Amino acid sequence: MDDRLNQILIAMRNYRTNDNDSQYLDDIEAILESEE
For the stretch 3-34, pLDDT in tens is: 888 888 887 787 776 666 677 788 888 888 88
Which of 36, 31, 30, 33 lies closest to 4, judged by CA? 31
**pLDDT at residue 18, as a whole number:** 64
Q: Using CB atoms within 10 A of its CB, is residue 36 exposed (0-12), middle (13-18) or buried (19+)?
A: exposed
On whether the CB atoms of residues 15 and 23 are closer than 8 A, the answer is yes
**pLDDT at residue 21, as a whole number:** 66
More confident residue, 36 or 29: 29
Does this model's pTM top 0.75? My answer is no
**pLDDT at residue 1, as a whole number:** 61
